[in-house]
Chain A
């Protein structure tokens, strides 16, 4: 926590953020981690808070309660790059400014999704929002590992198609 404190954040605000961010821990050591340590995402260019904000944004743009954070983390980890750094910093300040405009300290500290969505709606037209949203369409939904969560079976040629595997097995009509 000391590192974060140096950036002028109170311990309380930080805890608030961690809770709002779907129980993510913004750790001081340059990474964010799931509280149960199931996964962690290291950041080297942008700050852990910025990554936590991006991750929360991703969840709020395409919320699927049955899809774990780690999939969203994979979808946004590409923003931890020199080329994206400025856009991320500027975009997140805009986002936080929009949160402040409706009386919240910042985006991450907003407890209810519907309140965060109001902030997102306020920045919906910005290039930052549109870049993050468009990136998620492939970054999230094209991860083969999430397909089973939605029931989608993906590739089928190697299994001989569905001719003997239920192409016409509907039984409730």
Chain B
């Protein structure tokens, strides 16, 4: 029997969203005996439900509720209604994700001190650092079973990796390997080893890749302390006269509105929905939205400086076979302004199937320039750039005039590249192309960024209340029983894929919340 909590039970912690942040937090709290109601807008899909088919899987898992876009980024033109490629499902985007799990570098916790003031950027140091985070990273790596950490072996390299590695070595790169991946190279934690199926982005049918959907969430439920209510879309967070949050209003699958009372509310809807929810919860006491005395809710949106390089060879590569992203070059991740930009970037292998390649290789492109590239799909190799982008005040989420199916204003996502982002991307394109040319590529394609998969910073963490939305525990500066538990708390983005850090922060936050609850501080 799955535990059920009463709507008017005001002793529960309500978590909104069950992805990397919310799903992990829910389990960690449940393991500590804290009662949790997790509300998830999406449905529940498990490995047996996942499909090895890009568009069908997209239809099954992706968040396709309305969003709008503005700004000069190309996504606003090519994918006006789809600023992000993220998931609406139990487990959130950890169903889709590729599993690359790397720690921030030490200096990246202190971006402002390290890089200095960058014109037009709103840089800030995190209120935490590498030493503080080290034990939490270790717990996160153990939870996710990250390869090349602990005593876990690396994954074997697939064809796409072999081409990538050869090119990297030819350019003199040293830190080249099959990545630190939340994908089992051997059986681990009751999940089997990777079968090199090649559909990591579509949900791993073997469960070899970690996802909250089939690890943390069922384990939390098994404690009897966690109730996950799927297809439950939170519309508003409510507060009392003392300015503390007291519950949330949500729509169930039939569109009926309910009020769930709460002792604590944790927002983990990813970086568009979390600020949207805080803004949509404005009241006479908080006319600019909850937790927004700084005006920073929805601001400083980061999406990583990305882009891809695909290249064609005179012989087959068959990059789609095997893990989607198990391959990395880390030499460029350092901070070295002599390259013409601050911060660094990672290069990671990437492959798309033919249907997605047609959609993303050059969105809007047509004619023989485009089709002759696809003609050689079998001979293609691919990589992805993930670099630190600059937080900017005007990049972010505001409420749009467009309303969703519940009549709630949707998120408008505005984004302009910072000159530092452009310089980094162009440099990375060049290096990526050189790598492939060193292996004999006959043609290379610097492919523009896809709809965002890494969404960060819109409720950022800060030492001082006037600089950001939450403190070093993810607790809002303004309202002590309101937390942010997802990637939106990132102060800066670093060069690394964000999920390991989101998970480490969630484990740490669970520890804090449980402690503060038993001390009766919240």
A residues neighboring B (CB under 8 Å): 60-64, 66, 117, 120, 133, 137-138, 140-142, 147, 150-157, 160-163, 165-170, 172-173
A91 to B377, CA, bound (A): 32
Flag if B355 contacts A169 (CB, 8 Å): no
Of A142, A147, A168, which contacts B55 at CB under 8 A?
A142
Flag if B321 contacts A167 (CB, 8 Å): yes
Interface of B is mostly: loop
A154 to B51, CA, bound (A): 11
Closest CB-CB distance, A99 to chain B, in whole Å? 17
Of B158, B357, B367, which contacts A63 at CB under 8 A?
B367
A169 to B318, CA, bound (A): 9
Flag if B439 contacts A173 (CB, 8 Å): yes
Flag if A173 contacts B162 (CB, 8 Å): yes
Kindly list 15 other residue pairs between chains A and B, CB separation below 8 angstroms, not including A120-B366, A152-B354, A156-B199.
A62-B371, A63-B368, A138-B55, A142-B55, A151-B377, A156-B198, A156-B321, A160-B195, A162-B195, A162-B198, A163-B194, A163-B195, A167-B322, A170-B159, A172-B315
Flag if B354 contacts A155 (CB, 8 Å): no
What residues of chain B lie closer than 8 Å to A140, measured between beta carbons? Answer: 358
Does B317 belong to the interface (CB within 8 Å)?
Answer: yes
Flag if A66 contacts B321 (CB, 8 Å): no
A156 to B54, CA, bound (A): 12
The contact string, 1 if C-beta is below 8 Å from chain A, for chain B 370-387, is: 110011011000000000
What residues of chain A lie closer than 8 Å to B55, measured between beta carbons? Answer: 138, 142
Closest CB-CB distance, A165 to chain B, in whole Å? 8
A160 to B378, CA, bound (A): 21
Flag if A62 contacts B366 (CB, 8 Å): yes
| CB nearest neighbor in B for A132 | B366
What residues of chain B lie closer than 8 Å to A142, measured between beta carbons? Answer: 55, 355
Closest CB-CB distance, A159 to chain B, in whole Å? 9
A66 to B371, CA, bound (A): 11
Flag if A137 contacts B358 (CB, 8 Å): yes
Does B43 belong to the interface (CB within 8 Å)?
Answer: no
Of B53, B196, B205, B439, which contacts A154 at CB under 8 A?
B53
Flag if B378 contacts A152 (CB, 8 Å): yes
Flag if A168 contacts B157 (CB, 8 Å): yes
Closest CB-CB distance, B44 to chain A, in whole Å? 20
The contact string, 1 if C-beta is below 8 Å from chain A, for chain B 20-60, is: 00000000000000000000000000000001110100000
Closest CB-CB distance, A54 to chain B, in whole Å? 15
Flag if B370 contacts A62 (CB, 8 Å): yes
A140 to B206, CA, bound (A): 30
Flag if A168 contacts B205 (CB, 8 Å): no
B residues neighboring A (CB under 8 Å): 51-53, 55, 156-159, 162-163, 166, 194-199, 205-206, 315-318, 320-322, 353-355, 357-359, 364, 366-368, 370-371, 374-375, 377-378, 439
Closest CB-CB distance, A153 to chain B, in whole Å? 7
Closest CB-CB distance, A88 to chain B, in whole Å? 19
Q: Which 8 interchain pairs have the tightest Cβ spacing?
A: A151-B378, A161-B195, A167-B322, A161-B197, A141-B358, A155-B52, A167-B196, A152-B354
A170 to B313, CA, bound (A): 12
Closest CB-CB distance, B79 to chain A, in whole Å? 11
A120 to B157, CA, bound (A): 44
Flag if B159 contacts A150 (CB, 8 Å): no
Closest CB-CB distance, A127 to chain B, in whole Å? 14
What residues of chain A lie closer than 8 Å to B357, measured between beta carbons? Answer: 141
What residues of chain B lie closer than 8 Å to A160, measured between beta carbons? Answer: 195
What residues of chain B lie closer than 8 Å to A157, measured between beta carbons? Answer: 52, 197, 199, 205-206
A sample of 12 inter-chain contacts (CB < 8 A) reads A64-B371, A142-B55, A152-B378, A153-B318, A155-B53, A161-B198, A162-B321, A163-B195, A163-B196, A167-B321, A170-B163, A173-B163
Flag if A150 contacts B322 (CB, 8 Å): no
Most buried by B among A61, A66, A155: A155
What residues of chain A lie closer than 8 Å to B358, measured between beta carbons? Answer: 137, 140-141
Of A137, A150, A162, A166, which contacts B197 at CB under 8 A?
A162
A112 to B301, CA, bound (A): 48
| CB nearest neighbor in A for B165 | A173
What residues of chain B lie closer than 8 Å to A167, measured between beta carbons? Answer: 156, 158-159, 196, 198, 321-322
Closest CB-CB distance, A96 to chain B, in whole Å? 20
A153 to B378, CA, bound (A): 10
A138 to B366, CA, bound (A): 13
Flag if B196 contacts A137 (CB, 8 Å): no
